[in-house]
Every structure is written in C-alpha cells, then in structure tokens.
Amino acid sequence: MKFKKLGNTDLSVSLICLGTMTWGTQNTEKDAYEQMDYSIDQGVNFFDTAELYSVPPTAESYGKTEIIIGNWFEKRKNRDKIILASKVAGPGLDWIRGGKKNYNEKGLAEAIDGSLKRLKTDYIDLYQLHWPERSTNTFGRREYSINKNEGTWNDFENILHALEKFIKSGKIRHVGLSNETPYGLSKYLELSKHKNLPRMVSVQNPYSLVNRTYEVGMSEISIREKCGLLVYYPLASGALSGKYRNGQMPKNARMSLFKGWERMINPLAMKAYDEYYKLAKEINITMVQLAQAFVNSRPFVTSNIIGATTMDQLKENIGSINIKLNEEALEKINIIHNNNPNPAP
C-alpha cells in the first residue's frame, strides 16, 4: 500500500480508502465485515462513512452504515488502527434534523454525538461537511444560479468557530469538506489563516476519467495549500467498469436498483466508456484498473475512496494500487478526454 499525508496533519492515510455507503442496503453486515477485514489485511488504514449512509438516502437507511462499522470495531477491538472519516449531512433532508441547516453548534453537536454513539468510538479522525449549506452547482449541475431565498450567506467563520469547539473537546480531530467549490475552499482556508481557526485538511469531491472538473479550479488549491482531494465516484458509480456498455443493465447493479445516477450513463458518457474500454484492452488491463490507476496517479489526490458490493470488485479496486500507467497511456487518456470532456459530472 502507498500512503500520503492528510493535509498538514501528522496522519498518513492509505492511497486507497475504503468507501462504505452500500453497507446496510446493498451489502449486509457480514459483507461489510469481510470487506473491512480484507482491506486492513491489504494495508488500507482509512475508512470513509457518513451519518447519511447507507444509500440511497432514506429515513430507514439513515445511520445504518455507521452502526455496522461500530459493531465491527467492538468485535475486532482495533479502533486505534483505523483513520476514520465521517460526515455531517447538509440541509434538505426532512428526516435529518427537520431538513434544516446543521452547521451550527447545536446541529453539529447532535450529529457528532449521534455518529460517535453509532460508531462506538470516542472520536472521529476526520469530520467533513457533506455538502454546502449555501447555493452551489454540485451533484451534476453544470451551471450556477443563486437561490433567491438564501439571503446573505456568510457563515464560513461561524462554522469554523463551531467546529473548533468539538476539536477542543476531543470528539473530532480534523475537519474537511465535501462537494465543495473553489470559492468555498478558498474562503475556509483564508479564514483559518487570518483568524487562527481550524484548517480544512481535505476535500471529498467526485473525480474520474469521465469527470475531471476538479482539475479546473480545485487542483491548484489542493497542491499549493496541501488540502488534497479524497476522490469519490472514481468509477462513475460503477459505469467505468464497463458493465453498462452495449445496452446492458445488470440485475443487481446500482443503476438497475435505484434512481439518481442516470447522468452517469448519458449518451456522451457511453461513448467515452467505449473508448476507455478499447484503451484498457489495448494495454492489457481491465477498465477498472485503468480508471483507478489514473485516479491514483494524480498529484492532487490524497486518497481514492473505492466502493464495492462484491469481494471480487473490492480486490480489483484495491489491486489497482499496483498498476502504473506509462506516459503513452496517459497521453491516450488525455486525447479521449479532450474529444469528449467531462461527460458525466
């Protein structure tokens, strides 16, 4: 396994991070135990979860994943060997604190205490804001338009003050962002510097062969400010495995079971998958290995959050750490990308 520093902290996290969002819906607790046991045997020391999980998010699935992880910690007695990341949900979901804004002292206290109880731990190593409370163009939106009901949103400093209290209490060690923009990340980092407030150490955003938008405005900040990317959807919700090519729709695949990921299999994205399939075949690796090895190679990436519903998928994803793409392969990837940029944001 390879390791990188988590921002400016003293924590070294594995380049492969174990994603957990299917545990409790698509995966059983037994499945999850097998995935966690195998991952740590392969050198993975970084797990990512959220109070919202499992997915798709519903009132019934809320908190299930954290409960599974907490039960595993209790059985294995190995909490100290894992760098654990979780997230507080943003506004908009009625079954989570009434759908209101959560990034204040009261909302954060309820969220953190709930996660700690489910996870059966006294602390969370990395606590992330799952999505911004202000208007942003996240979750596949290409354009930006402000919400007229938002009012004057200037809570960056208040959020950092609230998070600081929980760091001082020892309940969380470090803080990070998710689904954030260059504007948001820059504001948080600026305030941390000038107001001596907690510093965001990472950003968890989507990134893959078919969604390289992070490179445009965020990658420079990540490198210069040592606030790296924790990649989610490195396989575009599984589409970069090639399983939806040629009109296929496997019975138990996410696109078959649930709504909300259709943008990953739009016509332009399907064309890109065909091109990456050909390239992977040309260089004698699988599409999954191609997609994951590309993500692993990016200098602004701190860790690549991989998810799997089967052990075979998990083994292939973790095994990508041993694949190195040469300059010729990377150039061919860029040609495909330039001809069809970011078809599945």
Q: Quick: pLDDT tens for 202-225.
A: 999 999 999 999 999 999 999 999
Distance CA 234, CA 239 (A): 10
pLDDT of residue 289 exceeding 80: yes
Label the pairing between strands 16-19 and 46-48.
Answer: parallel
Q: Which residues pair with 128 in a beta bridge?
A: 87, 176
Short-list 187, 308, 291, CA closest to 252: 308
pLDDT in tens, 88-107: 999 999 999 999 888 999 99
Q: Where are the domains of the chain?
A: 3-238+295-324
**232 tagged catalytic:** no
pLDDT of residue 150 exceeding 70: no
Q: Which residue has the higher pLDDT, 66 or 256?
A: 66
> Looking at this protein, which amino acid is placed at residue 265?
I
Q: Are 200 and 8 in contact (CB under 8 A)?
A: no
Q: Which of 33, 53, 62, 273 is catalytic?
A: 53
| pLDDT number for residue 213 | 96
Distance CA 308, CA 20 (A): 8
Q: Are 12 and 6 in contact (CB under 8 A)?
A: yes
pLDDT of residue 143 exceeding 90: no
Name the average pLDDT for the chain. 95
pLDDT of residue 135 exceeding 90: no
Domain 3-238+295-324 has CATH 3.40.50.300: no
